[in-house]
Chain A
Amino acid sequence: MLYKAGKAVTIFVLILTAVPLVVLIGQGSRFFGSAMTVPGAADALWTTLSSGVLALGLCFVIGLPTAYWLGNQRSHTRIKQISAVLLVTALLMPPLVLGLVLAYILAPTTLIGSWLNTVHSASNTFTALVLAEVYEALPYFVLTAWSAFAMIPREWEEEAWVLHKTPWQTFRFVLWPASRPGLLTATWMAWARIVGAFGSPVVVAYHPTALPVQIWITIEESGLPQALALALWLVLIGLPLPAWLTWKKRGIL
Chain B
Amino acid sequence: MSLALKTAGHSFLRGEAEWISGLNAIIGPSGAGKTTLLRLLAGLGEKTADIRFKNAAWQGRDHYLPPYLRPIAFVPQYPSLIPFRRIRQQIEWVLSPSSRSYLEEWAEELEILPLLDRYPRMLSGGEQQRAAILRALATGQPMLLLDEALSQVEDRLRQHCLQCLKHNPPVPWVFYSTHRLEEALEFSDTLTVITEGQIHSPQTPQDLLMAPPNAHVAWMLGYRGSFPLDSQRFVLIHPARVVLGAHPEQGLVYPARIDVRSKPRSLLSQWTVSGHNTTWHWDLPQYVKEWQGNAITIIDPVIVSYALNREEAQSYAQHVSW
Contacts and interface: CB of A to CB of B under 8 A. Distances in A.
B68 interface: yes
B3 to A, nearest CB: 16
B93 A153 contact: no
Given A153-B80, A156-B82, A178-B84, A162 B94 contact: no
Contacts, number: 50
Contact of B68 (A156, A161, A174, A177): A161
Contact of B72 (A153, A162, A177): A162
A30 interface: no
B139 A163 contact: yes
B94 A164 contact: yes
Contact of A173 (B76, B79, B93, B135): B93
B15 interface: no
Contacts of A167: 68
Contacts of A159: 74, 76, 79-80
Most chain B C-beta atoms within 10 Å of own C-beta, residue among A153, A161, A178: A161
B202 interface: no
A163 B73 contact: yes
B288 interface: no
Nearest to B94: A163
A162 B135 contact: no
Given A156-B82, A178-B84, A164 B68 contact: yes
Contacts of B42: 162
A162 B67 contact: yes
Contact of A163 (B43, B66, B85, B136): B136
A177 B96 CA distance: 23
A158 B44 contact: yes
A161 B82 contact: no
Interface in B99-145: 135-136, 139, 141, 145
A167 B74 CA distance: 16
Size range of the chain A interface in the assembly: 10 to 19
A166 B74 CA distance: 15
Interface string B87-103: 00000011010000000
Interface string A169-189: 000011001100000000000
B75 to A, nearest CB: 8
Contacts of B43: 161-162
Most chain A C-beta atoms within 10 Å of own C-beta, residue among B44, B66, B80, B145: B80
Contacts of A178: 82, 84
A156 B96 CA distance: 20
A123 B219 CA distance: 80
A2 to B, nearest CB: 37
A156 B80 contact: yes
A165 interface: yes
Contacts of B94: 163-165
A220 interface: no
A221 interface: no
A129 B214 CA distance: 75
A158 B82 CA distance: 12
Nearest to A156: B80
Contacts of A155: 76, 80
B68 A165 contact: yes
Nearest to A166: B68
A155 B72 CA distance: 17
B130 to A, nearest CB: 15
Contacts of A164: 68, 72-73, 94, 96, 139, 141
Nearest to A172: B93
B53 to A, nearest CB: 15
A177 B141 CA distance: 26
A163 to B, nearest CB: 5
Contacts of A156: 80, 82
Interface string B208-251: 00000000000000000000000000000000000000000000
Contacts of B136: 163
Interface string B145-181: 1000000000000000000000000000000000000
Contact of B84 (A153, A158, A177): A177
Most chain A C-beta atoms within 10 Å of own C-beta, residue among B68, B82, B93, B141: B68
B64 to A, nearest CB: 13
A162 B44 CA distance: 8
16 contacts: A156-B80, A158-B67, A159-B76, A161-B43, A161-B66, A162-B68, A162-B73, A163-B94, A163-B135, A163-B136, A164-B68, A164-B96, A165-B93, A166-B68, A173-B93, A177-B84
Interface of A: 153, 155-156, 158-159, 161-167, 173-174, 177-178
